[in-house]
Amino acid sequence: MSETMDPRVGDWWRSSIIEMKPGVIRYRGYPIEELIGNVSFAQMIWLMTRGELPTEGQGRLLDAALMSAVDHGPQAPSIAIARMAATCGVGLNNAIASAVNVLGDVHGGAGEQAVEMYEAIAARIDGGMPLAEAICAGLDEAIAKYGKFVSGFGHRFHPIDPRAPRLLELVDAAAKAGYVAGRFAAIARGVEDELAARKGGRSIPMNIDGATAVIYAELGFPAPLARGLFCLSRSVGILAHAWEQTGQGGRNKGPMPREYLWTYDGPSQRPVPASHHGV
């Protein structure tokens, strides 16, 4: 149904997400009063971003991906920023904003890049290429585009990221139950094997981004939404840390204690040249 709510504005803003009239709110056609009590937060996230309701199995898998990536501690720039912002006298909404804002290509984009790589491999297979060859080609393409650290694999802190194998178990169970095809789990494991082979057997295991990317790809989310969903997920940790920091009452806390300063490597002291005296 297409309905221009005011003919003067035409389709300047156009949406199929929400329809409103006085007393009426419908998301994707469903009256809000019917959704409330029947649809979970994770299912609502699916409905809003995809247009249809997920099956229960799909909704549970999405839920697991969302709940698994909420936090990685104040060493992560996003969480550190949330805590610093909280000490600067801004609202929780502002602390969340400053923090979510940095979930860009480097800090928040690994899931998106992994979905891209998985899909590119799947497209090659659909085009008739054998699995092993498609994985090699997809991996090479990802490395050419994003550099030698393959998004979704390896972790600078965890030898094995404890979240990844558990999420893969859930994907396997969902595949067995027929909720998802299991295709992207196979591709991701193939990538893991190929990476190990290239490193002479040293494992570079899947991390949280590689594992949630498997889930998002299995569920049919386009790659850029993997970043969007990560933002929703990480917002939870961001909120929790901003709130905890608020309770601790620090004021204007920088990244390190005052006595630990930075290295200055610029010019030694020098006078302002006489030519600059008088603005």
Taking the least distance from each CB to its own copies, the nearer of 12 and 201 is: 12
Query: Could you tell me the smallest distance in angstroms from the CB atom of residue 55 to its own copies?
Result: 8
Residue with structure tokens 């060859």?
A: 133
145 token code pair: 């585009």
Contact at 8 Å (CB) between 192 and 153?
A: yes
Sheet strand arrangement including 18-21: 18-21, 24-27, 30-31
268 residue type, one letter: S
Taking the least distance from each CB to its own copies, the nearer of 119 and 246 is: 246
Q: How many CB atoms lie within 10 A of CB 69?
A: 22
Query: Could you tell me the smallest distance in angstroms from the CB atom of residue 210 to its own copies?
Result: 15
Query: Could you tell me the smallest distance in angstroms from the CB atom of residue 90 to its own copies?
Result: 4
Taking the least distance from each CB to its own copies, the nearer of 126 and 259 is: 259
Residue 154 vs residues 195, 209, 225: alpha-carbon distances, Å: 10, 10, 22
Taking the least distance from each CB to its own copies, the nearer of 40 and 125 is: 40
Contact at 8 Å (CB) between 139 and 194?
A: yes
Query: Could you tell me the smallest distance in angstroms from the CB atom of residue 159 to its own copies?
Result: 6
